Chain A
Amino acid sequence: MALADWLMRTATRSPPRGREQWVEAMRAEYASLAGDKFGWALGCWTTMLGWRLRVDAIYLALLAAAIVLLMTSLPFWVWVLVPRDLIHLGFYPPLVVLFPICLLVSFYRPGHAYLTALAIFLLPNIYEYITMYADGWFVAPHPEARITIHDAPQIVGLMADLGGCLSGALLGRAIRGAMQKSLNAC
C-alpha cells in the first residue's frame, strides 16, 4: 500500500492547468477504493503523465533540442561567436551559448526555469565527462575541454556553467513575468 500511496501522491502533486478537478476526482475514488489500490494509482499516474506530456510537449522538445545542440556543437559555436581577444581577457566562452538558450527556453515556460537551468547545465556536462573519461568505449566526438576557465580548477568552470544557466533562466522568467504584468495592466 505504501507504494500505491506514493504513486498516488506523485500523480496528484502538481496537475497541469485545467486538470485540477480531475486530480481531486481520482484521489477521492482512490480513498473509497477497497481492492487493487496499486492498479488504480498506476493508472492515475500514467493519466497524469499523459496530460503533463501533452501540456509540456513543445517545452520538452525545445529543451531536448537545446541539450542536443549543446552536446554536439557547443565548442564549434563558441569558437565562431566569441572573439579571440575576449577569451584572452578571461571571458568564459560557453556563456555566450548557455545564457541565451536558458533565457529563451525559460521565457517560453517560466514555471520551469529551475528545471531548464539544471537540465541544460547537467546533461551536456555529464555527456562531456562520459566522453572524456570513456573515450574509446563510445563512438562519440571528443569535445573540447570547456569546463575549465584557463588554468582554474574544473569546479570553477562548472560553477560558471551553472551560474550562466541559472541567470539566463531566471532572467527569461523575469522578462516573461514583466511582459505579462504590463499586458494585464493594459
Chain B
Amino acid sequence: MAGLQRRPSEQTLQVLSALQEARRQWRYGLEIAAATGLKSGSLYPILARLDERGMVESKWLEPEKAGRPARHAYRITAEGRAAVHEAQQQQRGIRLAPEGGH
C-alpha cells in the first residue's frame, strides 16, 4: 500500500491515465510512450514502480510478426484506477480550496 501513501508524480499519472483510457486492453511500452510523450528513460522506471506497487499488471504477449521477440504489455489494475481517482479528487480539492476559504 506504500504506493497510495505518496501522491503519484505528474508523469506517473500520465502513464496511469493512458492505461486507464485503454480500459481493459493491454498496452505495449511504445504505445504508452506515444500516448504520454514520455521517453523510455522516464517510462520504464515509472512502469517498474507501478508494477511493484500493484497499480499495473504486466504479461508477455506473443509477437505480431514472426521472428520478433515476445513483447511486454501492461494494463491498469483496480488499485491503479483508485490512485488516479484519488489524484483527480485531490486536484479538484486544490482548485476549489481558495474559493471555499472566502
Contact = CB atoms under 8 A, between A and B. Distances in A.
A21 B70 CA distance: 11
Interface string B27-47: 011100000000111111101
A45 B39 CA distance: 12
Q: Say what secondary structure dominates the interface of chain A.
A: helix
Contacts of A39: 39-40
A27 B58 CA distance: 16
Interface residues of B, number: 18
Contact of A29 (B28, B41, B48, B58): B28
B23 interface: no
A43 B41 contact: yes
A133 B28 CA distance: 56
Contact of B44 (A28, A42, A47): A47
Interface of B: 28-30, 39-45, 47-48, 58, 68-72
22 contacts: A22-B47, A22-B48, A24-B72, A25-B58, A26-B40, A27-B69, A28-B68, A28-B71, A28-B72, A29-B40, A29-B71, A31-B69, A32-B30, A32-B71, A39-B40, A40-B39, A43-B43, A44-B41, A44-B44, A47-B40, A47-B45, A51-B45
